[in-house]
Amino acid sequence: MEHRGVTIWLTGLSGAGKSTITEALAERLRDRQCKLEVLDGDIVRTNLTKGLGFSKEDRDTNIRRIGFVSHLLTRNGVVVLVSAISPYRAVRDEVREMIGDFMEVYVSAPLEVCESRDVKGLYKRARAGEIKQFTGIDDPYEPPTNPEVNCETHKESLDESVDKVVAKLEELGYLPAGVAV
């Protein structure tokens, strides 16, 4: 299927549902024959940005590197799904400007819901002081001021969230409208 390249940037707290939505969205887009690449924050940190810590400067460098790779893919007609906390608004806006064809998806849930979903025990360790600079606990998260899509995962189903993203991609002309799968 012919489509334009675009970066779909899913941002939100750990445990909000970014990776879950990304996986389901990737499946839906593959069913529509999209050229697709997934850049998950955890996987990128072990490969592309290994050695970076969690200071503001390192987090910004991490997001800029993900943004650069996304830019290269997007300009070559690939739909790029980025799933990364990316806590700072200014660097997300910088990446948006660099990429151009960019759609921000705020994956939101209250902190207590994110903590209840924490299978890795990261929030518990952060609250115990074992992990420093943990976003949402002792490091800030700056929500988007005007995302193209807001997925409230504590209020809506996974399918509803994915449907919202696909509908916005169609509305913005990145996907042809009305293709049922």
Here the CATH number for the domain that contains residue 76 is: 3.40.50.300
Residues assigned a catalytic role: 86
> End-to-end alpha-carbon separation of the chain, Å?
13
**Domain assignment of residue 179, yes or no:** no
CA distance 120 to 61: 25
CA torsion angle for 46, 35, 163, 167 (degrees, to 10)? 130
**pLDDT for residue 133 is more than 90:** no
CA distance 152 to 19: 14
Integer-rounded Cα Rg, in Å, for the chain is 16
What pLDDT, on a 0 to 100 scale, did the predictor assign at position 179? 59
**Domain assignment of residue 101, yes or no:** yes
Range of weakest confidence among 30-34, 42-46, 164-168: 42-46
Task: Please provide the average confidence, as pLDDT, over all residues in the chain.
Answer: 91
Starting from the edge strand earliest in sequence, which strands make up the sheet with 79-83, in order? Answer: 36-40, 79-83, 6-11, 102-108, 149-152
Domain count, the chain: 1
| DSSP three-state, residue 70 | helix
**Domain assignment of residue 138, yes or no:** yes
Check: CB of residue 104 under 8 Å from CB of residue 96. yes
Residues 58-90: pLDDT tens digits?
A: 889 989 999 999 999 999 999 999 999 999 999
**Domain assignment of residue 1, yes or no:** no
**Domain assignment of residue 180, yes or no:** no
**Domain assignment of residue 61, yes or no:** yes
Q: 159 lies in which domain range?
A: 6-171
CA distance 77 to 61: 25
**Domain assignment of residue 181, yes or no:** no
Check the CA dihedral 39-43-46-51 and report its sign: positive
Considering the entire predicted model, what is its pTM?
A: 0.92
**Domain assignment of residue 81, yes or no:** yes
* ∠ Cα 147 148 151 (to 5°): 75
Biggest alpha carbon–alpha carbon distance for the chain: 50
Q: pLDDT tier at 42 (50, 70, 90 boundaries)? A: confident
